[in-house]
Amino acid sequence: MSTHLDGALLPREGRAPVDPRTLRVVERRSAPERLRRRGGLIRRSLLIGDVLALALTFVLVETWMPNTFADAGGASWLAYLGAAAMMLVLLASRDLYGRDETRADHTTIDDLPAIFNAVTAGAFISLAVLVLTGAASPELAIAAWAIALVTIPLARSGARVIARRRPDYVQNTVIIGGGVIGQLMARKLLTHPEYGMRLVGLIDDDPRPLDDDLDRVPVLGGPAQTARIIRDHEVERAIVAFSSQSHHDELELIRQLRDLELQVDIVPRLFEIVGPSAGINVFEGMSVVALPPRRISRSRLFVKRAVDIAVAGFTLIALLPIAIAIAVAVVLTDGRPLLYRGERIGPRGRRFMQLKFRTMSTKWTAERFENWLEEHPLQAAEFDRTQKLGDDPRTTRVGRFLRKTSLDELPQLLNVLLGDLSLVGPRPITEKEQRERYLHRVFDPNSSEALILGYWDVEGLRPGMTGYWQISGRSTMSFEERIRIDTAYLTNWSLALDISILARTARALFATRGAY
């Protein structure tokens, strides 16, 4: 069934062209319907969650503030129904039902600003109506506003949990490109099943040899076999990740995939610095990624520091009994010292001592560990890649528990109060890591001297207790990936991003995935 149409991909020498007609027929009979199933599932789930949340809100208001409607009788529930309908329209106007269909990593945390705006707008409208008509006291709208800000996010979180466990939510996904970036994307999909993207395989004519942790991911063929791959595997989503095709071939393939109603995701060039703050400008039909100037105002830095002090101080006081219990357990099981002090590099090269509860046995010297790595080549390769081991022989029994739960990092709250760390920031690094892995040498053409630049040395931003690495894989991430995600954080830093990372960190800590 190999035919050709106008607009077919121009083949490279020795490679059969993609048949767009075959691709189109196969797709229109399968993938759009499956794609709509996922979108319909999540929209229905969120709508049901919002309706239940609003119903609960009005029940609570009526319970706590009975007889708020003057002489309304049963008509009060008509007023509630009208308010609920208005609120659902406001939520829909903020695009709160369609984001999950295309954004695989979308969470309720990302919805919070839009939910706040929609609920606040609804409360103001209701307040105005109540004041003008005198139908009920204004306190009714204020109470409903406060309660809805809690019930709606909670209901949406539950709706997403339920929807993402349904088979219809999962999308068969292929990655077009088998190079370093394609394999990086494959690794992300495999380690984040919550994205609902089942990795079918890679599409590439000449893929890079697969890394050991991807040895089970099949290379399904080249772009010329895309029609067969889509048909055989019922593909619903394609991620274009720096394939080996020519620019013209890749562009034509993307156009056809979009025309076929596949969900297409494209990894942009320089993706490390293209983040949520980036925009799209158009110059006579040419789309350009626009990065805002990297300016951090003193007021925002002041707010960030104030949040650090307030949250760290409150958390340290609240968890003080747990910290004391951990200290006793560490000393009783492996003696002293209680704390591990590791030198790290702060902004502008300032050194500080990062504090942690000690998790490793004092019996393991650096020389003994190096000898052990020489005797265990697999573990040595893992340590070289991530500087961590999933089953580290140096870790004590108490230390394993502390690392799994991240409780070993509680003393870092003192670092936050002292100004060495921030709650959220790039990963703290050692001088050796900076010298061997993080520094970039930039040569001035007018000078023979090399300028040494640290990758995260941004004015005013400190390294963090948590960050993108904590919510994106933790100990399982390679050093190269940590650099990429920290670069993305620094390029796109905002207070809203910090709040989002803090919220996601709490979820990651409960999941304990990737922690050791």
Q: In this predicted structure, what is the pLDDT of residue 11? A: 35
8 vs 169, which has greater pLDDT? 169
Please, which pLDDT band fits residue 316 given cuts at 50, 70 and 90?
Answer: very high
* Amino acid identity, position 243: S
Percent of the chain topping pLDDT 70: 78
Q: Which residues contact 144 (CB under 8 A, 6 or more apart)?
A: 57, 58, 61, 83, 123, 126
Mean of pLDDT values over 334-352: 84
Instruction: Inform me whether the pLDDT recorded for 442 exceeds 60.
Output: no
φ, ψ at 264 (rounded to 5°) = -115, 125
Mean of pLDDT values over 195-211: 87
Residue 145 and residue 139: Cα distance in Å, rounded? 10
Is 228 strand, coil or helix?
helix
Q: Residue 150: how many CB atoms within 10 A of its CB?
A: 13
Residue 10 and residue 16: Cα distance in Å, rounded? 9
Residue 490 and residue 423: Cα distance in Å, rounded? 14
- Which range has the worst mean pLDDT, 163-177, 420-434, 447-461? 447-461
Residue 495 and residue 269: Cα distance in Å, rounded? 26
Q: In this predicted structure, what is the pLDDT of residue 75? A: 58
Please, which pLDDT band fits residue 300 given cuts at 50, 70 and 90?
Answer: confident
Q: In this predicted structure, what is the pLDDT of residue 1? A: 34
The full length of the chain comes to 516
Q: In this predicted structure, what is the pLDDT of residue 439? A: 57
Q: Residue 52: how many CB atoms within 10 A of its CB?
A: 16
Chain-centroid distance of CA 114 in Å reads 18
Residue 416 token pair? 């936050």
228 vs 17, which has greater pLDDT? 228
Residue 47 token pair? 């709508």
Q: Residue 251: how many CB atoms within 10 A of its CB?
A: 12
Residue 240 pairs in a beta bridge with 176, 266
- Judged on CB neighbours under 10 Å (0-12, 13-18, 19+), 155 is buried
Mean of pLDDT values over 319-335: 90
Q: Which residues contact 13 (CB under 8 A, 6 or more apart)?
A: none
Residue 344 token pair? 């790290």
Closest CA to 483 of 496, 498, 467, 497: 467
DSSP 429-478: B-HHHIIIII-EEEE-TT-SSEEEE-TT--TTPPPEEE-HHHHTTGGGS-
φ, ψ at 457 (rounded to 5°) = -75, 75
Please, which pLDDT band fits residue 110 given cuts at 50, 70 and 90?
Answer: confident
- Which range has the worst mean pLDDT, 198-207, 325-334, 373-382, 416-425? 373-382
φ, ψ at 17 (rounded to 5°) = -75, 155
φ, ψ at 504 (rounded to 5°) = -70, -30
- Angle, nearest 10°, between helix axes 226-233 and 20-28? 20
Residue 79 and residue 129: Cα distance in Å, rounded? 11
402 vs 461, which has greater pLDDT? 402
Does this model's pTM top 0.85? My answer is: no
At 223-279, the pLDDT tens digits run 888 878 888 888 889 898 877 677 777 888 888 787 767 888 888 877 766 766 677
Q: In this predicted structure, what is the pLDDT of residue 404? A: 82
Q: In this predicted structure, what is the pLDDT of residue 29? A: 41
Residue 422 pairs in a beta bridge with 464
Fold entry, domain 170-267 = Rossmann fold (3.40.50)
Q: Residue 215: how many CB atoms within 10 A of its CB?
A: 8
At 350-365, the pLDDT tens digits run 889 999 999 888 887 7
Residue 73 and residue 310: Cα distance in Å, rounded? 47
- Which range has the worst mean pLDDT, 132-136, 353-357, 484-488, 499-503? 132-136
At 140-187, the pLDDT tens digits run 888 889 999 999 999 999 999 999 888 888 889 999 988 888 888 898
- Judged on CB neighbours under 10 Å (0-12, 13-18, 19+), 114 is middle
Instruction: Inform me whether the pLDDT recorded for 95 exceeds 80.
Output: yes
Maximum average pLDDT range among 194-203, 236-245, 459-468 = 194-203
Q: Residue 261: how many CB atoms within 10 A of its CB?
A: 16
Residue 96 and residue 50: Cα distance in Å, rounded? 10
Mean of pLDDT values over 387-404: 80
At 367-392, the pLDDT tens digits run 777 778 777 777 777 777 666 777 77
Task: Report how far apart, in Å, the C-alpha atoms of 162 and of each of 52, 96, 382, 513 are.
Answer: 14, 17, 36, 20
Please, which pLDDT band fits residue 24 given cuts at 50, 70 and 90?
Answer: very low
The answer to whether the bond into 337 is cis (omega within 30° of 0) is yes
C-alpha angle 375-376-377 in degrees, rounded to nearest 5? 110
Residue 253 and residue 245: Cα distance in Å, rounded? 10
Percent of the chain topping pLDDT 90: 19
Segments of the chain assigned to CATH 3.40.50.720: 170-267
Mean of pLDDT values over 79-85: 85
Average pLDDT, the chain: 78
Closest CA to 461 of 491, 481, 482, 433: 491
Q: What is the 3-state secondary structure (H, E, C) of 168-219?
A: HHCEEEEEECCCHHHHHHHHHHHHCHHHCEEEEEEECCCCCCCCHHHCCCCE
Q: In this predicted structure, what is the pLDDT of residue 308? A: 93
Residue 6 token pair? 């106008």
Maximum average pLDDT range among 105-119, 366-380, 425-439 = 105-119
**Residue 355 in contact with residue 339, Cβ under 8 Å?**
yes
State the first-to-last Cα distance of the chain, in angstroms, to the nearest integer. Answer: 52
